[in-house]
Structure 1
Amino acid sequence: MTDSRPWISVAKMQEQLTTICLQRVCIVPPCCRGWRLAVRFDYAYLLPFEDKYAGVVDFDYVLAVAALDSGKSDRATLAFERVLAVNPNFAGARLDMARAYFQLGDADRAKLEFLAVRDLNPPAQAQAVITQYLDAIDRIERAKKRSLRAYVELQIGNDTNVNNSGSQSTIAVPALGGLTFTLNPTNLKRGDSFKALGAGVDFGYQFRPDLGVFAGADFRQRMNFTQDTFDNGSMDLRGGVSIGESSNQVHIAGQSGRYTLDNELSRRAEGKGYRLRRLAINTGGFVPPRPIMARTLASAQAAEVVAPQFEGGMSQVTVTASGTVEIE
């Protein structure tokens, strides 16, 4: 078996020599060539000299590149900003700044920087890199325009009162002098085990930052093992449009719902409503740590209850409206 200890010793000596050499390079007056040599090794070698040489364009640039290549994109942007504050037309720094924003997931700012570099008419190789990144950003933006969420749920359990009834077989009516009535046995409390299935989907598409559409559906069905008379299910559909930016947005939506009992239509409801979300302007001169949002919510709904168990059916139409203002 080969003894690796001598090689470890050599590696440690090499690391120490490298550190000493880089320190010598950085101690002398600013030398871009020395710093470019340092950047080949590691961001950690340059970091101790940041307090002394921050603001020197050459040092800030190689420090930023080292941070970027070391996966420290947030630190890289700080150094790149110092470079570009002194030399706004430094195409290399601006290109690397765009790369740093891209790695941080800030596609909007990355796109602005890439476009700014492209306007500086860089070499063909840099143009190719810019095109690749812009294509990637376009794919990200297209993905953001679409949203799709879905779920499926399965339940199994036991309900001690599937028909929502009382357990007493007789009731007394005080208005009739305490006269007692015997309830139909079918109206007494019943327990049973059940299984339930639910599923739903929501879809949204943003045509522009200030215009989008959305739609969704939910389905649920509950089935009792023995008391199937009380099996129930529901289906809800919704859809609408959103208008305006997120800080000042109106949602206009419509909805439709169906409820079944023992596989028969028991209730249906249709409605429409709107929701207005506005950014509060008057903060009394106080700048909060996060935006204060004032939301005005209003809705209107019309519901028709259908009772098919009565001869000829029975329907009831209810119209409701509500409005609230919330501060968050």
Structure 2
Amino acid sequence: MHFKKTICLASLLMLAFQPAAHADTLTDQARELLESGKSTQAFALLDTQESTRAGEPLFDFLLGLAALDVGQNTRAVFALERVLAMDPNHVRARAEIARAYLALGEADTARKEFETVQKQGVPADVSLTLERYIAAARNVQDQSKVSANGYLELTLGYDTNLNLGPNKSTVVIPGISSAPATLSKDSKANKDNFGQLGAGANVRIPVSRQVAVLAGVSGTERFNGHTDQFDLGNADANLGAVLTDGKSVYTLMGQSSHLVVDKDRYRMATGLTGQWQYNHDSRNQFSLYAQYSDLHYLTQDVRDADRWVGGAAYAHLWRDNAVGYASIYLVNEKPQAAHVEFLGFDGFGARFGARANVTPKTIVFGNFSFEQRRHVAVDPAFLTKRRDEQYAMLVGASYAFEKDWTVTPQLSLGRNVSNTALNEYHREMVSVAIRREF
């Protein structure tokens, strides 16, 4: 994790280390603004008074905290150094100045400060939080070295619609007949238990202080209990570069993905993704991205298509370590064959999600997504332009039961509403994954 992505100290630290100085109207107001997440207003309030009140431990502490939240890391260091000059045992100020050093890229100094805080008899749960920061500081120190990581994962679950088929036995296809057509077993929704194995590895190779080469591979193999005709295999590979320039991070990545159904190659996708990420401050992050994919269906060339996606995203970190994010995007898929224009569509979508630590070892998470698609030509089977609205929701939790080991139960719900009966369906899936990271 690059130091620009470093997050703030957990609320556990806020509760454990309260500044023991006399408060007044100004500092009370600033504290209320900080606790309600209004760091920009708090910094503006305190900044105007620094020349007259610098040297007061509580004022300097709150100024340092606000400055750190809005990305004024050097100002934060100066303010917190004044606090520690007056009170070297101010544990909270030392923890926050360590965070400021880490944000400035001074990883060695940050690590030493975090370790000093940890040695001062903090509660066990706070110590666990500090361990994560110490690890982050060590990771920043290693940015000049080649680094690699990987994982293995086993998932067991139950899926009510493996093949995304309609949840009915008959449909009317106007372009063929006005009488209902009976669907084959493989055409309608199939439910089954499944097991899935997954693995992946990533490597980061620094070229300079600002530039690094990234590469990764991953794959999954899914086996169904009774419907092996829908067994899936997937392999992905990516190669690209990342450039860090101040608060901006630019990424360009080439990608290739191969999907196998029942041991037969089904689809290959190759493409390119570009992203600009702007780390506004320690709590807010913005990004813009664009992606192109060449979709090639090995046994159905008529479905080959060019796919474009472009969008924007925003993420916010609350003081209690909860993270929320939202994104919107536009999508266009155009068939490469001239006589199947009805397979092409334009669309837009949105995603919303959040995650939060409920204990030092437990994270809960959830997300919701929506995508609307409008096809550009009349479908000859249904004598109309196809229109779809797809909804999906996921909730789950991840528990770290041992170092580098997590167990993650989750529930996924999906529904596609369409004016063409063959494409209308709902899907429910429950699963439990055990993951080992290296």
Q: Normalising by structure 1, report the TM-score.
A: 0.49
Higher helix share: 1
Task: Tell me: higher relative CO, structure 1 or 2? Use CA pairs within 8 A at least 6 residues apart.
Answer: 2
Higher strand share: 2
Q: Normalising by structure 2, report the TM-score.
A: 0.38
